[in-house]
Structure 1
Amino acid sequence: MDAIHYKVREDNQIKRKAVYVVLGINMDGIKDILGIWIGESESSKFWLSVLNELKNRGVEDVPIICVDGLSGIKETI
C-alpha cells in the first residue's frame, strides 16, 4: 500500500493529488493491483475507506501489509 503524489491541472490551477495504490500478492506469488484511488492528499482516514472497500469486495486474509510511516496508519490497519 502506498500513495504517489502528482501535480495535476484542475480548474485552471495546478493542484497536488495523491494516487493510492494497493498491490496484492497471493500465496502462489501472483501479483495483482487491487485498486487505484485518487484523493486530495494522503491520509490514514482515506486509507481506512480503501481498506473497507477491499474488505467489502471480498479480501479476507491479509497476513502481511507493507506501508511507510504515515501517521495513524497502524491504527487504521
Structure 2
Amino acid sequence: MVKQHAPTEPVALRGPHRTIGTSHRLDLPAMHAAYEAGEIPPWTVNDDCLFTFNAIPGQLRGDAVQVAVQPTMLVVHARWT
C-alpha cells in the first residue's frame, strides 16, 4: 500500500482493459501496455491509498518485498503523472 497525497475517487486496473472507475488516467494506452507486458501489477486506489497485488513466489523475505515494491512505484508514477 502507498499512501497518496490526497483522496481520490475509487479506481482500479484489474486486467487488460478491465478498469473500475471513471478517471481519465485509466484511458492511458501506456498504462494498459505496461500491465499487459507484466511491468505493473493489478492495482486499486481507494480514498488516499493505492494497493497493488503482487505475487511473491517462495518464502517471503525482505529482498522479495523490495522487488515487489519496484512495480508498485511504477504504478504510482503512471497514476499521478
TM-score interval (norm. to shorter): 0.3 to 0.5
The structure with more strand, counted as a fraction of residues: 1
In the superposition, the TM-score normalised over structure 1's length comes to 0.34
Q: TM-score, normalised by structure 2?
A: 0.33
